[in-house]
Amino acid sequence: MSGNGADQGASFAFAPEAIAKVKAIIAKYPTGRQASAVLPLLDLAQRENDGWLSRAAMDHVAQILDMAPIKVYEVATFYTMFNLKPVGRHLVQLCRTTPCWLRGSEELRYAAQQELGIGLKETTGDGAFTLVEVECLGACVNAPMVQINDDFYEDLTGESFRELLRALRRGEKPAIGSRTGRQGSCPASGPTTLTEIERR
């Protein structure tokens, strides 16, 4: 990884082990249509650059895909999945869409702000956590939920969320999914159909 810090002038190039991934991604698209690979290459660049896209990283993607840099900037600034400034090692994304809000996302926000000592769009002094709010993360039936880096944590309460953040701070890897043990998206009260599986 050669992207670093908040210096937008820093150089960036994909690590040697990522070059094979870059070639594989581009190969999925027809000849002359390599610009279609801009989303996956920006995602890969963000992962290579400590979770954010520097100007140098976007310029590098533009060069690889033979695109005007402004076209890459347009994509990167449109999609909220791309971070245009440095983020913490744990990017905590609070879902604030209606189902999560109705089931307690405000409590989660308060718990996170108290536990981490930061507000929304801020990063802890040690660079461990960044807290942001996002729109629907797609696990509405298991609301309220958060996404931390690539992992979903569902059926949260203020206290279970605090425990989750404390575990991450200790360097632990909490189990993903429901914090109540709910299986998939079955009702919170438990299965109402197919409660017995017939063995043949």
**pLDDT reported for residue 197:** 66
Q: Is residue 28 part of a domain?
A: yes
Rounded CA-CA distance 140/152 in Å is 12
Q: Looking at the structure, tell me whether residues 72 and 107 fall in a common domain.
A: no
Range of the domain at 48: 16-78
CATH code at position 114: 3.40.30.10
Q: Is residue 66 part of a domain?
A: yes
**pLDDT reported for residue 200:** 62
CATH code at position 35: 1.10.10
Q: Is residue 10 part of a domain?
A: no
Low-confidence ranges of the chain (pLDDT < 70): 1-9, 194, 197-200
Q: Looking at the structure, tell me whether residues 52 and 22 fall in a common domain.
A: yes
**DSSP readout, 91-134?**
EEEEE-SHHHHHTTHHHHHHHHHHHH---TTEE-TTSSEEEEEE
Rounded CA-CA distance 78/72 in Å is 10
Q: Looking at the structure, tell me whether residues 69 and 125 fall in a common domain.
A: no
Q: Over the stretch 137-184, which tens digit does the pLDDT of each residue have?
A: 999 999 999 999 999 999 999 999 999 999 999 999 999 999 988 877
Rounded to 5, what percent of the chain is helix, strand, coil?
40, 10, 50
pTM, full prediction: 0.83
Q: Looking at the structure, tell me whether residues 99 and 132 fall in a common domain.
A: yes
Q: What is the number of domains present in the chain? A: 2
